[in-house]
A and B are shown apart, each in its own frame.
Chain A
Amino acid sequence: MAKLSATDSLGGYDKEIGNIRLREVANQSLIAMAIPQGKESKFKNNIKNIFNLKMPSPTKSVKNKDTRLLFTQPDQIFVLMKRVEDPENSMAVTFGESAYITDQTDAWVILEISGESSREALERICQVDLDKNVFQLDGMARTNMEHMSAIIIRKADNTFYLMSASSSAKSFLHAVELSAQHIS
């Protein structure tokens, strides 16, 4: 039996629309970590030891070269990191009883939007205030875009990660593409 080959949600989409670049980010793993009741400080220590990162705040992600941590729920964070196979099991070994780990890599599609007009495009679908004094570098929010659940992260002044459900990846891409095309 042949080994199974992976298919990315958007087949490695990468396109320029005006001065906006839109591309699928497919080389990442996304891992949900829930914090067991009573294990909060142990979890925090493990995050420090394993990723050398502090816990993310509800509105701001933390990151180092390979890893970014996102607050998703009061007792849950997401880890966005370089793609690893079967992260659920490998991470479970590392974290032991201090975290409940669930692979979310395939549940999400990640788009990166960049370029001078990226904010103008996002104005059409994102109700979160993206002013850079309000939504600062590494800022993150989970919200709705065109009736789809989405996470937005500010990577740079005009560069954002947009994450949404993988099953509706094409609709999500289309919504972002339209927003870029509709700038006037």
Chain B
Amino acid sequence: MIINHPLLGPRDANEFIHLGDESMIDRPDGMGEHAAKNFHEYLYLRDNPAGKYRELWYHEAGDRSWLVVTRDTVTHEIFNVELARDVARSRGRSK
């Protein structure tokens, strides 16, 4: 596969490591209420769609950026690639 890196342009997927669901960004607060339940859901309950999927990839052999790649898991078509840091901020993560 070719991943069109938002900064570097098209790069072979073999330079990347695949992690999985974008929701890994939404880590619960470990000191918050129902932390155990929230972490259980965060870690173990994932969708596994045949179709469009937003997933985390890491450009390990390149610029070390974590990316959110929107990909069709059936056709492998890639619709969008974003810097995960920007996505994380847009989802309210900070410090």
A residues contacting B by CB (< 8 A) are: 58-59, 71-74, 127, 141-144, 149
Closest 10 CB pairs of A and B: A58-B7, A144-B61, A142-B62, A73-B63, A73-B64, A58-B8, A127-B12, A149-B61, A143-B61, A143-B15
B4 within 8 A of A: no
B63 is contacted by which of A58, A127, A144 (Cβ under 8 Å)?
Answer: A58
CB distance from A146 to the nearest CB of B (A): 12
Q: Is the CB of B61 within 8 A of A59?
A: no
> Closest chain A residue to B86 by CB distance?
A74
Given the known interface contacts A59-B9, A144-B14, the answer about A74 and B61 at a Cβ–Cβ threshold of 8 Å is: no
Complex CA gap A142/B12 in Å reads 12
Q: Is the CB of A73 within 8 A of B65?
A: yes
A59 is contacted by which of B8, B15, B64, B65 (Cβ under 8 Å)?
Answer: B8
Q: 25 pairs across A/B with beta carbons < 8 Å?
A: A58-B7, A58-B8, A58-B63, A59-B9, A71-B63, A72-B63, A72-B64, A73-B64, A73-B65, A74-B7, A74-B63, A74-B65, A74-B83, A74-B85, A141-B8, A141-B62, A142-B61, A142-B63, A143-B15, A143-B61, A143-B62, A144-B14, A144-B15, A144-B61, A149-B61
Q: Which residues of B contact A127 (CB under 8 A)?
A: 12, 14
Complex CA gap A143/B10 in Å reads 12
Q: Which residues of A contact B65 (CB under 8 A)?
A: 73-74
Q: Which residues of A contact B7 (CB under 8 A)?
A: 58, 74
- B16-40 residues with Cβ-Cβ distance < 8 A to A are none
Q: Which residues of B contact A143 (CB under 8 A)?
A: 11, 15, 61-62
> Closest chain B residue to A151 by CB distance?
B62
Complex CA gap A127/B65 in Å reads 19
Q: Which residues of A contact B62 (CB under 8 A)?
A: 141-143
Q: Which residues of A contact B14 (CB under 8 A)?
A: 127, 144
